[in-house]
Chains A and B, each alone.
Chain A
Amino acid sequence: MPRGVKFLEMIVFDKVTKHYGTHKALDNVSFSIAPQEFVILVGPSGAGKSTLIKLLLCEEKPTFGNITIDGKDIHLLKEKYIPYYRRQIGVVFQDFKLLRGKTVFENVAFALEVSGKPDDQIKKEVTKILDLVGLKEKADNFPGELSGGEKQRVAIARALVFNPKFLIADEPTGNLDPQNSWEIAKLLLKINELGTTVLLATHNRDIVDAVHKRVISLDKGKLMRDRKRSKYA
């Protein structure tokens, strides 16, 4: 089952509801994401974007409904297979979540070490991916020595190093200035063109309008709109 989830098929949210106590974080949300699609998730704070991402990462289980990939319910995965499932999803966060004590190279290599790959292969792949995000020269710097945009590119490199079929970006531009935000958005578009499905959660209006891709709007846990090639509404 775990290695059976390949992200070659649709990701389907089927009537997903998530309660935290009496609070409905997600309310009967249904949609699907096709392979190699670029989907933007918008909505104000508290709309349920983060909850939706947590459900996708198997950090939480839905109260009702299910999420299937390849027709398989990801929340039926056994606990011990969840790490293997997560290795197929790249995740980027607003706060980067880089390890301060490790260099840029080590931060990216670390994700591969976890999966038990041999050292020489790790070196090759990390060098390649740092080249892709344009940080080859900063490989030996520590996160503290980088700008916000550079940190986010390290995080993206780490997310991509597994060669995932699916990349989730949770407010990746939340801490960045417009110039850097746009750089990150362009990088995500490039990654999508290379064949990776991208789910971008944001409330950066400029980015949404410039990217001009499918937009799913959430508000108070409900799915309000789902439009192709849309602008921020």
Chain B
Amino acid sequence: MTTFWRRIFRSAFSGFKRNGWLSLVAVFIMSQALLIISIFASINLVIGASINAINERIDVAVFFKETVKEEQALALRTKVMTWEGVNEVVYVSPQEALDKFLNENRNRSAIRDVIPAEENFLPASLEVKVADPYVIEQVIDRILKSEDAALISETSLQDNQQLIARLRDVGSFIQRTSLILAGVFVVIALLIIFNTIRITIFTRRDEIEIMKLVGATDWYIRWPFIVEGMLYGVIATLLTLLLLYLGYLAFVRPMVESYVISTVNSPIFSWGFLIFLAIMQLVIGLGVGGFSSYLATKKHLNV
């Protein structure tokens, strides 16, 4: 069995070398496809992270009437916390609200001067955060329709609604578009790769025919081509990683150095993402290379 695999690998490597130009073309096209896929994966990750960050900031405040006691407010908080889609509910007491307000306006003495020190005019409130901005209206709606509605004076939903709607639209539009574009590019790339590998195999169909006639089994003929296809994938992965690194040096690092963007807290500049990209490229490269070769040999094996 080891003799078998040794011969398969030797044959694959010599095939790769002897068909130098076609091998090179196949590798370049494959790394181009991997590059496109990697770039789209990065874009999607960045957009996803940004949308998450925005979602986390979307919250709605529910203001209580002045007569409401703290226990009643905390009871409502406990209840709302158990609802599906609700991430966090923070109770803000009138004192906390005042502290926060004063802190935010500490440099504006004009505002501070008109605030009476002993009398707190701010109501208590609940700040509701949700996992998905789409459910925020439902959550507020549910509060206003429950028996606790009597406790509520008003919500900030009206103010936030326009902003929320716009963010939702932009976020989902960008993600949808990039997904569709990535899909189209991937399909095009796969077709080109498949065709390139088919051409390399087509130029060697007489070789396949001769192998069959001297009594080679189908798999003995097929494996070198599959290994060769996978070899394209491995080399294309290395090339793509190199290109990504060069791209980073050329475009991203100058921006980082001039503080246009920050690499801190950005998920695409982590080792984890780099390893993910490398593994994804390798898996796609091996899969596409091997499978294309398998399909392309299938036709010529019917001697």
Task: Please list the residues of chain A having a beta carbon within 8 angstroms of any beta carbon in chain B.
Answer: 57, 59, 80, 83-87, 91, 97-99, 101, 110-111, 113-116, 118-119, 158, 162
Pick the contact of B215 from A80, A86, A101 — CB < 8 Å?
A: A86
Is residue B210 contacting chain A, with contact meaning CB distance below 8 A?
yes
Residue numbers in B under 8 Å from A59 (CB-CB)? 303
Residue numbers in B under 8 Å from A84 (CB-CB)? 215
Is residue B176 contacting chain A, with contact meaning CB distance below 8 A?
no
Enumerate 14 A-B pairs (CB-CB under 8 Å) in ascending A order.
Answer: A59-B303, A84-B215, A86-B212, A86-B213, A86-B214, A91-B213, A97-B210, A97-B213, A99-B210, A111-B214, A111-B215, A114-B217, A118-B3, A119-B3
Known A97-B209, A97-B210: A113·B215 in contact at CB below 8 Å: no
Q: Complex: how many Å from CA A185 to CA B217?
A: 31
Q: Complex: how many Å from CA A145 to CA B96?
A: 94
- A80–B213 CB distance below 8 A: no
Q: Complex: how many Å from CA A99 to CA B224?
A: 16
Residue numbers in B under 8 Å from A110 (CB-CB)? 211, 214
- B214–A87 CB distance below 8 A: yes
Q: Complex: how many Å from CA A158 to CA B303?
A: 19
Task: Please list the residues of chain B having a beta carbon within 8 angstroms of any beta carbon in chain A.
Answer: 3-4, 7, 14, 18, 206-207, 209-218, 220, 303
Known A91-B213, A110-B214, A114-B214: A97·B206 in contact at CB below 8 Å: yes
A62 CB, nearest partner CB in chain B, Å: 17
Nearest A residue (CB) for B7: A113
- A57–B207 CB distance below 8 A: no
Q: Complex: how many Å from CA A34 to CA B150?
A: 108
Q: Closest 9 CB pairs between A and B?
A: A87-B215, A86-B215, A111-B214, A114-B216, A83-B217, A83-B215, A97-B210, A101-B18, A113-B7
A-B pair count, CB < 8 Å, reads 44
- B215–A115 CB distance below 8 A: yes
Q: Complex: how many Å from CA A101 to CA B211?
A: 14
Q: Complex: how many Å from CA A83 to CA B206?
A: 17
- A114–B210 CB distance below 8 A: no
- A99–B207 CB distance below 8 A: yes
Residue numbers in A under 8 Å from B218 (CB-CB)? 83
Known A59-B303, A97-B210, A99-B210: A116·B215 in contact at CB below 8 Å: no
Q: Complex: how many Å from CA A98 to CA B206?
A: 9
Residue numbers in B under 8 Å from A57 (CB-CB)? 213
Nearest A residue (CB) for B17: A101
Nearest A residue (CB) for B303: A59
Known A97-B209, A97-B210: A83·B216 in contact at CB below 8 Å: yes
Interface centre among B3, B4, B214 (most CB of A within 10 A): B214
**Chain B binding site: helix, strand, loop or mixed by DSSP?**
helix
Q: Complex: how many Å from CA A80 to CA B210?
A: 17
Known A80-B217, A97-B206, A101-B18: A114·B211 in contact at CB below 8 Å: yes
Residue numbers in B under 8 Å from A158 (CB-CB)? 214
Residue numbers in A under 8 Å from B14 (CB-CB)? 101
Known A59-B303, A97-B209, A97-B210: A114·B215 in contact at CB below 8 Å: yes
Q: Complex: how many Å from CA A98 to CA B213?
A: 11
Q: Complex: how many Å from CA A83 to CA B7?
A: 18
Residue numbers in B under 8 Å from A114 (CB-CB)? 211, 214-217, 220
Q: Complex: how many Å from CA A97 to CA B206?
A: 8
Nearest B residue (CB) for A81: B217
- A116–B214 CB distance below 8 A: no
- A116–B213 CB distance below 8 A: no
Q: Complex: how many Å from CA A116 to CA B210?
A: 17
Q: Complex: how many Å from CA A114 to CA B210?
A: 11
Residue numbers in A under 8 Å from B214 (CB-CB)? 86-87, 110-111, 114, 158
Q: Complex: how many Å from CA A59 to CA B69?
A: 92
A38 CB, nearest partner CB in chain B, Å: 22
B214 CB, nearest partner CB in chain A, Å: 4
B9 CB, nearest partner CB in chain A, Å: 13
Residue numbers in A under 8 Å from B215 (CB-CB)? 83-87, 111, 114-115, 162
Residue numbers in B under 8 Å from A119 (CB-CB)? 3
Residue numbers in A under 8 Å from B211 (CB-CB)? 110, 114
Q: Complex: how many Å from CA A113 to CA B303?
A: 20
Interface centre among A110, A118, A119 (most CB of B within 10 A): A110
Q: Complex: how many Å from CA A110 to CA B220?
A: 12
A94 CB, nearest partner CB in chain B, Å: 13
Residue numbers in B under 8 Å from A115 (CB-CB)? 215
B18 CB, nearest partner CB in chain A, Å: 5
Residue numbers in A under 8 Å from B303 (CB-CB)? 59
A155 CB, nearest partner CB in chain B, Å: 10
B297 CB, nearest partner CB in chain A, Å: 15
Q: Complex: how many Å from CA A206 to CA B263?
A: 85
Nearest A residue (CB) for B220: A114
